[in-house]
Structures are given as structure tokens and as C-alpha cells.
Homo-oligomer: A and B are copies of this chain.
Amino acid sequence: MEAAPERFGRGPERLEAFSDSVFAIAITLLVLDIRLPDLTEMSTADQIGRALVALWPSYVGYFVSFITIGNAWINHHNLFRFLGSVSHGVLISNLLLLLAIGFIPFPTALLARTLGGPGEQIGVVVYAATFFANALAFNLLWVQVKRVLKPGSPPAAIAAINRSYRLGPPVSLGALVISFAFPVAGLAIITGLMILYLLPRSTGA
């Protein structure tokens, strides 16, 4: 079949809108995980105060998840600036990335609840594996976007994204392997990687 004329092409607007909504929902859902204890059974302010303090892993989970997903959204936003047209490969690989993003609330909640306890190693391993899956998905999407680059995309920006994304899979795989033996070291590597991605340099901006 011949290509449809330009005005029937798929613009990035709806793909961006759909992706933005998935990012937004995933980022906001974790507040649901901060479950208020049953206050009707508590008769003193002291009891209520201690019950709220005991929820700290949920607060940590909310914060970490927000930064992780927000950071991924910023990178997604940067990536799509160079998207020339929406190919089927971009649609499918973007869906796989959203699959990995939408899953983040689960390992984050698991990590927040296992840190410092007997399940710490499991929590970090699952978290590192999710991070690895996200790094793979971002690279897959980037490969697809590069096939349909907007004409005239500045080579320096493309090269900066290349450099920054190339780092993700091996480093997070390394963190995954290391966290089987040394969970805290694995977590430190992931945290470092996340800070790196938060810096403006990594976005090709």
C-alpha cells in the first residue's frame, strides 16, 4: 500500500498526550499507598503520632517514586523533541517503555518496605531489575526514534543522548548483579545513575 498523504500521518501529539497521562497516573498513584491507620481506635494524640511516624517507608516510597518517574518523564520529553514522525516501531517501543514505567510503583513500594529488614536484598534486586528494564526500554525507544529523526536535528544533542543512554543498561545490570551480594552498594549505584540523569547535561538540552 502506498504511504498515506502527509495530512493523514500520525503526529506525535496524541502519543505524547497518552504517554503524559500514563506517567502522570503512575506518579500520582503511590499516594494511595500511604494508608491512614484506623484512627477511631486510637484514644491519645501520642498513639496517633506514633502511627503516622510508622508510615515512614510509605513516605520514602512516595518521594523516590515521584523523583524516578518524574525524571523518566523529563527524559521522555527531551527525546520526543527530535521525533520526526510516528512509526509503528515508535508506537510499540513506547508502549513497552510505558509498561516498565507503569510498573515502578510496585518495586518502589517493595523497596520502601524491605529496607533494613530481612527482605532488603530481595527489595533492592527487584528494584535494580526494574531499573534495568527501564534502561533497556529507553534505549529501544531511542533506536526507533533515531530512524525517524526530525530533519536537521542537531548532531551534538543526538550524540549527548547517545552517550547518556548507552550508560544505562550496563550500569544498571551491574547494580543488579552486585545487589545479590551487596544490596547497599547496588542501591548506591542506581542512586548515582538517577542523579546523573537528573542533570541537564544528559538530556542533550
Once the chains bind, are B74 and A95 in contact (CB under 8 Å)?
yes
Once the chains bind, are B27 and A29 in contact (CB under 8 Å)?
no
Q: Give the docked Cα–Cα distance between A52 and B105 (Å).
A: 15
Once the chains bind, are A16 and B17 in contact (CB under 8 Å)?
yes
Total number of A residues with any Cβ neighbor in B under 8 Å: 80
Once the chains bind, are A24 and B21 in contact (CB under 8 Å)?
yes
Closest chain B residue to A70 by CB distance?
B95
Q: Distance (Å) between the CB of A11 and the closest chain B CB?
A: 9
Interface locus among A109-117, A138-146, A168-176: A109-117
Q: 8 Å CB contacts to B: which residues of A52-67?
A: 52, 62-63, 66-67
Once the chains bind, are A32 and B31 in contact (CB under 8 Å)?
no
Q: Give the docked Cα–Cα distance between A48 and B105 (Å).
A: 18
Q: 8 Å CB contacts to B: which residues of A68-126?
A: 70-71, 73-74, 77-78, 80-82, 88, 91-92, 95, 98-99, 102-103, 105-106, 109-110, 113-114, 117-119, 121-122, 126
Once the chains bind, are A156 and B1 in contact (CB under 8 Å)?
yes
Once the chains bind, are A16 and B16 in contact (CB under 8 Å)?
no
* A192 lies within 8 A of chain B by Cβ: no
Contact partner of A45 (CB less than 8 A), chosen from B52, B66, B67, B118, is: B118
* A178 lies within 8 A of chain B by Cβ: no
* A188 lies within 8 A of chain B by Cβ: no
Once the chains bind, are B205 and A4 in contact (CB under 8 Å)?
yes
* A198 lies within 8 A of chain B by Cβ: yes
Contact partner of A73 (CB less than 8 A), chosen from B9, B18, B73, B105, is: B18
